[in-house]
């Protein structure tokens, strides 16, 4: 199920989001490594404005290994215009679905493992695999991969979308309901897409213009077009033609994160997962109440959702039958509630079937909720109604994803870990039928450090009439060195 980021991803051509779990294993006693070098680039849009017109400044910070975290300061010569938190794309590289998982390796090649009865591994087969297999035709150039219940989708660097697997609802988006056993182009989405999401039997995309398109099953209004009509090709979401940075899909509902960091959801609402205080399905995007602006990440599970606030706190809402909202109860919540022990320091979140996981600014992972198959990674199977540490992953984690009953993580040093249910080999350690109660290494010689990109944005109206030299400065972190962008010119007219 899915995770998201905000703001000027469009200017950078990236979008953050996907369904993933977590894992990280640092060698005990290993010496601290030197910070990884970064590069920072800045864009200002539009390039020329009139006095008082808003200017969107977008800083993109890249590293050869790991996703940079921290803040960026925006400057006009020596004057500070403001700062913004980096929103990373590390989560693009790992995804956890119903009983399968996918990840990106070197050169942007796609690999999947686990259940394959509907072709969701994309290798033109229906045989399950307990180790990663190559997705046919995607040996390079993929920038994001997402997983639904029985299908998968990929976003290429050229902005094209391809999907494969089960297609009963039309979730592949090729105009048919024919199951596809290898990546298939989504109709009309051969370029210009910055984010994608995969739900139970529907899929969605965000365009470079910030518009949202969805396709597939629509029994609960999860396509957001004001109807309950199934759509076999991408269809515009009502009211979201622009201004959206990221998209997330749950089982039968969908949520979007706007450029302002606001959350809107639509579709099924039997557990309050829309977050508007009701239990009424919504056929068009509806604002989540009580969160305001400035959200930095968003995730959707089976029937619950979570968001990271501007202060680094965590709020969740919807189904709580497994304790997945982390408020110490099992009571469903139709409005966002605070997750215990996570009032600050959260940088990303993943939502699964009946569990949730959070990535902290220290690179550690915490999970809570149902634990029947060990999906909390704490070595046991006891339910947790509030966050607890994932064993061996208290540092060094770059991204996390949560599936129905398992989770996976990308390590900053490279490599993937998965834990939880392993009925179909979705842990990726070469076994099936034996659940993993702690993170296990995913087999594969191709796994190594994964490059990361993070984006921060600031909208300002403070520029005076005249010419300006704008720059962005990344302050660095324990894992990544700071860097400053080359100056960018901007002119303000009277």
Report angle CA 401, 407, 412 to the nearest 5 degrees: 60
Q: Which two tokens stand for residue 347?
A: 């940088």
Residues 100, 235 share a domain: yes
Q: 327 and 340 in contact (C-beta within 8 Å)? A: yes
Query: For 220-248, what is the mean pLDDT?
Result: 96
Residue 182 contacts residue 194 (beta carbons within 8 Å): no
| C-alpha dist (Å) from residue 145 to 86, 382, 417 | 21, 31, 17
Across the chain, what does the average pLDDT equal? 90
Cβ neighbours of 28 (radius 10 Å): 6
> Where does the pLDDT of residue 6 fall: very low under 50, low under 70, confident under 90, or very high at 90 and above?
very low
In this prediction, residues 315-340 reach a mean pLDDT of: 98
Residue 157 within any structural domain of the chain: yes
Is 1 a member of any domain? no
Q: List the structure tokens of 208.
A: 């470079």
- Both 165 and 212 in one domain: the answer is yes
From residue 436, how far is each of 99, 191, 270, 373, 433 by CA, in Å? 14, 39, 32, 8, 10
- CB-facing half-sphere around the CA of 124: CA atoms within 13 A: 4
Residues 230 and 369 in one domain: yes
Per-residue pLDDT for 388 more than 50? yes
Q: 223 and 282, same structural domain?
A: yes
Residues 474-492 as b/e (b if ≥16 CB within 10 A, e otherwise) read bebbebbebbbbeebebeb
Count of domains for the chain: 2
Phi and psi at 13, nearest 5°, equal 80, 20
Positive or negative, the CA dihedral 113, 117, 118, 119 is positive
The token pair that represents 260 in the structure block:
């302002």
Residue 286, token pair as written in the block: 């509806």
Select from 441, 462, 477 the last residue of a domain: 441
Cβ atoms of residues 205 and 195 within 8 Å:
yes
Residue at 28 is within a domain: no
Query: Cβ-count burial of 335 within 10 angstroms (0-12 exposed, 13-18 middle, 19+ buried)?
Result: middle
Question: In DSSP terms, which residues pair with 244 in a beta bridge?
Answer: 258
| CATH code at position 83 | 2.60.40.10
* pLDDT 10s digits, 179-190: 999 999 999 999
| CB within 8 Å of 432: residues ≥ 6 apart | 128, 130, 422, 423, 424, 425
8-12, 175-179, 211-215, range with the lowest pLDDT: 8-12
Selected residue with higher pLDDT from 270 and 347: 270
- Residue 208, domain member (yes or no): yes
384, β-bridge pairs = 369
141 domain residue, yes or no: yes
* One domain, residues 79 and 121: no
CA distance 120 to 31: 40
Residues 206 and 67 in one domain: no
Is residue 8 in some structural domain?
no
Give 93's DSSP letter: G
348 has which bridge partners? 359
Q: What is the pLDDT of residues 151-176, one digit of tens each?
A: 999 999 899 999 999 999 999 999 99
The residue with tokens 């680094």 is: 312
Contact of 407 with 418, CB cutoff 8 Å: yes
Residue 196's domain comprises: 90-441
pLDDT of the residue at 277 = 98
Are both 428 and 465 inside the same structural domain? no
Pair type for strands 488-493 and 48-50: parallel
Q: Which of 88, 85, 81 is nearest to 9 (CA)?
A: 88
Would the CA dihedral through 192, 197, 199, 204 be positive or negative?
Answer: negative
Query: What region does 310 belong to: left with phi over 0, alpha with psi -120 to 50, or beta?
Result: alpha
Q: Strand, helix or coil at 463?
A: coil
User: Does residue 375 register a pLDDT over 50?
Assistant: yes
CATH code of the domain covering residue 129: 2.130.10.30
Residue 310 and residue 182 in one domain? yes
- What percent of the chain stands above pLDDT 70? 91
Together in a domain, 130 and 78: no
Q: Are residues 459 and 383 in the same domain?
A: no
In-domain check, residue 15: no
Alpha-carbon span 70 to 455, nearest angstrom: 10
| Dihedral-angle region of residue 296 (phi above 0 means left; psi in -120 to 50 means alpha; beta otherwise) | alpha
Mark whether 282 and 403 lie in a shared domain: yes
The radius of gyration computed from the CA coordinates of the chain, to the nearest angstrom, equals 21
Q: For 396-453, how does the pLDDT look when each residue is reduced to its tens digit (9 = 90+)?
A: 888 999 999 999 999 877 789 999 999 999 999 999 999 999 999 999 877 766 667 7
8 Å CB contact between 383 and 323? yes
> Residue 31: inside a domain, yes or no?
no
pLDDT grade, residue 88 (50/70/90)? low
User: Are residue 321 and residue 380 in the same domain, yes or no?
Assistant: yes
């Amino acid at each position: 199920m899915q995770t998201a980021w905000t703001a000027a991803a469009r200017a950078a051509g990236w979008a953050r989001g996907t369904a993933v779990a977590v894992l990280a294993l640092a060698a005990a006693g290993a010496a601290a490594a030197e910070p990884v070098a970064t590069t920072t680039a800045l864009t200002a849009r539009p390039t020329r404005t009139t006095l008082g017109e808003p200017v969107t400044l977008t800083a993109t910070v890249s590293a050869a290994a790991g996703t940079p975290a921290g803040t960026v300061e925006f400057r006009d010569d020596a004057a500070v215009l403001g700062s913004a938190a980096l929103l990373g794309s590390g989560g693009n590289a790992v995804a956890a679905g119903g009983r399968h998982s996918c990840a990106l390796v070197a050169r942007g090649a796609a690999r999947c493992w686990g259940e394959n009865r509907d072709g969701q591994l994309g290798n033109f087969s229906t045989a399950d695999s307990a180790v990663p297999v190559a997705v046919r035709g995607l040996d390079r150039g993929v920038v994001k991969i997402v997983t639904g219940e029985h299908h998968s989708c990929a976003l290429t660097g050229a902005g094209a979308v391809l999907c494969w697997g089960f297609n009963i609802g039309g979730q592949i988006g090729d105009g048919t309901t024919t199951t596809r056993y290898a990546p298939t182009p989504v109709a009309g989405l051969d370029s210009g897409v910055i984010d994608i999401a995969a739900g139970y039997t529907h899929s969605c995309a965000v365009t470079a213009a910030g518009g949202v398109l969805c396709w597939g099953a629509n029994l609960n209004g999860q396509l957001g077009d004001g109807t309950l009509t199934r759509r076999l090709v991408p269809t515009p979401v009502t009211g979201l033609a622009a201004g959206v940075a990221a998209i997330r899909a749950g089982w039968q509902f969908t949520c979007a994160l706007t450029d302002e960091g606001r959350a809107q959801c639509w579709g099924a609402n039997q557990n309050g997962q829309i977050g508007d205080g009701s239990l009424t399905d919504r056929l068009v995007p509806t604002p989540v109440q009580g969160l305001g602006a400035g959200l930095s990440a968003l995730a959707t599970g089976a029937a619950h959702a979570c968001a990271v606030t501007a202060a680094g706190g965590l709020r969740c809402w919807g189904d709580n039958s497994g304790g997945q909202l982390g408020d110490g109860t099992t009571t469903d919540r139709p409005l966002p509630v605070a997750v215990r022990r996570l009032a600050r320091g959260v940088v990303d979140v993943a939502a699964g079937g009946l569990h949730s996981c959070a990535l902290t600014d220290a690179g550690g992972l915490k999970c809570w909720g149902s634990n029947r198959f060990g999906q909390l990674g704490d070595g046991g199977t006891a339910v947790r109604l509030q966050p607890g540490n994932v064993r061996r992953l208290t540092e060094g984690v770059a991204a996390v994803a949560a599936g129905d009953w398992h989770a996976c993580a990308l390590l900053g040093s490279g490599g993937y870990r998965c834990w939880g249910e392993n009925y179909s080999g979705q842990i990726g350690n070469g076994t099936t039928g034996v659940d993993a109660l702690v993170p296990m290494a995913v087999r594969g010689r191709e796994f190594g450090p994964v490059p990361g990109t993070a984006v921060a944005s600031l909208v300002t109206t403070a520029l005076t009439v005249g010419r300006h030299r704008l720059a962005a400065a990344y302050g660095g972190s324990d894992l990544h060195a700071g860097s400053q962008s080359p100056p960018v010119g901007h002119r303000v007219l009277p």
